[in-house]
């Protein structure tokens, strides 16, 4: 349902690994009309509760922030993903209509 939404990227299947499906992460790219945080806020206001994952990065915690290895220049991919990833609600009790509501919310928000 999200494959045609510009700026939203679903995670590809991991070859040689078995997914536990505990999370449904998406990446909110710069070509989506909202930032990840703005989409998160829109979801929250609509009563849908996604989760910003890898947020904040551990390297942003006070005890690590001053370390040279914690600078964003040393962590370009981690920093990028931390700004883009959003885990959509997922549970055994999530019904098909809820899945459709979440996907439709993402699609409608970009129009």
Q: What is the CATH number of the domain that holds 87?
A: 3.90.1150.10
CB 73 within 8 Å of CB 19: no
Predicted model pTM: 0.86
Range of the domain at 68: 8-12+19-109
46 lies in some domain? yes
For the chain, how many structural domains are there in total?
Answer: 1
For the chain, the first-to-last Cα distance in angstroms comes to 15
| Phi, psi of 38, deg, nearest 5 | -70, -40
44 lies in some domain? yes
Take residue 100 and report the two structure tokens written for it.
């459709």
3-state DSSP assignment of residue 64: helix
Q: How many CB atoms lie within 10 A of CB 102?
A: 21
pLDDT tens digits, the chain, 111 residues: what are they? Answer: 998 899 999 988 777 777 777 889 999 999 999 999 999 999 999 999 999 988 889 999 999 999 999 988 899 999 999 999 999 998 888 899 999 999 999 998 876
CA Rg, the chain, in Å?
Answer: 15
């Amino acid at each position: 349902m999200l494959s045609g939404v510009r700026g939203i990227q679903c995670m590809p299947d991991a070859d040689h690994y078995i997914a536990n499906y505990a999370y449904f992460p998406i990446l909110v790219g710069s070509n989506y009309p909202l930032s990840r945080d703005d989409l998160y806020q829109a979801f929250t206001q609509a009563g849908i509760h996604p989760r910003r994952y890898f947020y904040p990065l551990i390297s942003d915690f006070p005890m690590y922030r001053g370390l040279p290895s914690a600078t964003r220049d040393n962590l370009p991919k981690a920093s990028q993903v931390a700004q883009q990833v959003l885990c959509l609600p997922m549970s055994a009790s999530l019904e098909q209509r809820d899945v459709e509501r979440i996907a439709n919310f993402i699609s409608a928000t970009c129009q």
